[in-house]
Amino acid sequence: MLLHIFPYFLFFNLCLSSGCVGILKSELDEESDVQTAVTVNVSLTLEEIQFVSATNMEYEVTLLLHQRWLDPRLDNNLCTQQKAVNGQIWRPKITLVKGCLKICNNVDDTQFWRGFGSKGNVLLSEKVTVRSSCTRDFRRYPFDIQICELKFGSYVFPVDEIELNWDRNPIKILSRTDLDTFELTNVTTYSEIDVRPSGNFRILAVQFFVKRYFTNYVMSIIISGNLLVTLSYASFWINRERINFRLTMCLSNIAFLIYLHVHSCSNTLINALDLFFVTCLIFLIFSLFGNCLVSYLLSMIHVVDKGNRNHQRSIILVHRWIKILYPVIYLSSFLLYSYSVIY
Ligand SMILES: *[C@@H]1O[C@H](CO)[C@@H](O)[C@H](O)[C@H]1NC(C)=O
Ligand SMILES: *[C@@H]1O[C@H](CO)[C@@H](O)[C@H](O)[C@H]1NC(C)=O
């Protein structure tokens, strides 16, 4: 429907200026029985991308939105250039379907229009600043990858009037790719059809994949946690009689682990880092109880048995098994953890 109307709008606009009415009239007559959709090729130049808030995963991106289409009524002559300057050419009215447009005051500087060639090739570039939010899937935190998506489309022209296409090279990146605590790793595009009561609309989507920098978490938390578990294990190698020293060591390790957790708190749901803390805590508590058990058995020997050979042998056996099993189980669970986090 609208495609039927818009040539007349244009025609009406052009009638206002004398001189070029004749040319356009003949072209309109030629076109009147052709009713194909206008194909608009879209590409983006990413000028700047940054996080506004890393906790809410809100980001702001400044980009140039290039729209190319063929409008046989507009060739590169003085008349159409005048119309373009006055903002009177028809445009596909592409807007953001996902993401929120931030209006700048310098609107006049943000549009570039050029008609070129004799076939009516049109290029319209608009500079837009968009604020949107990324996914908030923190299950693998701090090893998470989030997807920040923008969607472009039209609320005015359905697919049988305008078909939107991604250009051959849809995205050009000029900005830095390190964003605060994230790194921009990959940009992909796709297109889909949005079915609304008013018709089917073509939607173009672009996805920015951002990956959190996790090195500092590994340095400060994963390494410290492993060190604490190792220290607790070392307590089994200290002289069996020095039980006070062993218990103090285990308790202070637990306290330090809790301190680490409080200071790395991500105030999100259960995530991969919490899983690591829980694993460490289980092993620290186990070493505490293991030490208690050994000291209890020792005291039994001294008090009750006065050095019964069998009892002493069973303590040595328990001790030896703890010494072997503890690192084996810990190492395998840590490897399992690393594997599940990385893949
Ligand atoms: C749009 O892109 C297609 C292929 O990607 C190309 O054949 C066509 O000429 C382009 N149209 C314009 C107006 O640039
Ligand atoms: C970008 O991510 C998509 C989806 O995960 C993937 O299919 C594609 O291969 C990636 N491209 C690059 C260059 O990493």
- The ligand placed nearest to the CA atom of residue 207 is 2
pLDDT in tens, 65-91: 999 988 877 766 777 777 777 777 788
Q: Whose CA is nearest to atom 8 of ligand 1?
A: 41
Q: Are 46 and 63 in contact (CB under 8 A)?
A: yes
Q: Say yes or no: 183 and 205 in one domain.
A: yes
- Measuring CA to CA, which residue among 190, 43, 48, 210 is closest to residue 129? 48
Residues 63, 206: one domain? yes
- CATH number, domain containing residue 97: 2.70.170.10
Between 313 and 166, where is the model more confident?
Answer: 166
Residues 204 and 220 in one domain: no
Q: Give the other-Cβ count within 10 Å of 94's Cβ.
A: 23
Confidence of residue 257 (pLDDT cuts 50, 70, 90): very high
- For ligand 1, the distance from its centroid to the CA atom of residue 122, given in whole angstroms, is 11
The closest of 136, 166, 135 to 153, measured between CA atoms, is 166
Residue 55 lies in a domain: yes
Q: What pLDDT is attached to residue 30? A: 44
Which residues have C-beta atoms less than 6 Å from ligand 2? 186, 188, 209
Same domain assignment for residues 204 and 89: yes
How many domains in the chain? 2
255 and 141 in one domain?
no
Among residues 212, 241, 258, the one where a domain terminates is 212
Q: Across the strands, what pairs with 101? A: 130
pLDDT in tens, 133-159: 999 988 888 899 999 999 999 888 999
| pLDDT score at 31 | 47
Q: What is the residue range of 226's domain? A: 215-342
Planar angle of CA 338, 342, 343, nearest 5 degrees: 115
Are 193 and 250 within one domain?
no
- Please give the residue that has the higher pLDDT: either 27 or 169: 169
Query: Taking all residues of the chain, what is their mean pLDDT, rounded to a whole number?
Result: 83
Q: Which ligand is nearest to the CA of 167?
A: 1
Q: Which amino acid makes up residue 125?
A: S
Is the pLDDT at 54 greater than 50? The verdict is yes
In the block, which residue shows the tokens 């173009």?
Answer: 204
Q: How far apart are CA 130 and CA 98, in angstroms?
A: 10
Cα-to-centroid distance, 185 and ligand 2 (Å): 9
**Shortest-distance atom of ligand 1 to CA 121:** 13
- Please report the atom of ligand 1 found closest to the CA of residue 41: 1
Same domain, 208 and 229: no
pLDDT tens column, 161-213: 999 999 999 999 998 888 888 999 999 999 999 999 988 999 999 999 999 99
Of 170, 193, 212, the position where a domain reaches its end is: 212
Please state the rounded mean pLDDT for residues 219-232.
94
Residue 283 lies in a domain: yes
- Torsion angle of alpha carbons 276, 277, 279, 280, nearest 10°? 120
Does any domain span residue 25? no
The answer to whether the CB of 70 is under 6 A from ligand 1 is yes
Per-residue confidence (pLDDT) for residue 305, from 0 to 100: 59
Answer yes or no: is 78 within a domain.
yes
What is the Cα–Cα distance from 79 to 17, expressed in whole angstroms? 8
Co-location of 98 and 208 in the same domain = yes
Residues 199, 50 within the same domain: yes
Q: Say if 18 falls within a structural domain.
A: no
- 249 shares a domain with 131: no
pTM of model > 0.95: no
Average pLDDT over residues 216-224: 91
Over residues 256-274, the mean pLDDT reads 83
- Residue environment code for 2-21, b if the CB has 16+ CB neighbours within 10 A, otherwise e: ebeebbeebeeebeeeeebe
Question: Which residue's alpha carbon is nearest to atom 2 within ligand 2?
Answer: 186
The answer to which of 11-20, 48-57, 226-235, 334-343 has the lowest mean pLDDT is 11-20
Residue at a domain's end among 169, 196, 212: 212
Q: Is 200 in the same domain as 256?
A: no
Q: Clarify whether residues 68 and 195 are in a common domain.
A: yes
Ligand that comes closest to the CA of residue 72 = 1
Please check whether residue 35 is in contact with residue 48, taking contact to mean a CB–CB distance below 8 angstroms: no
d(CA 144, CA 6) in angstroms, rounded, equals 48
Q: What is the 3-state secondary structure (H, E, C) of 182-196?
A: EEEEEEEEEEEEEEE
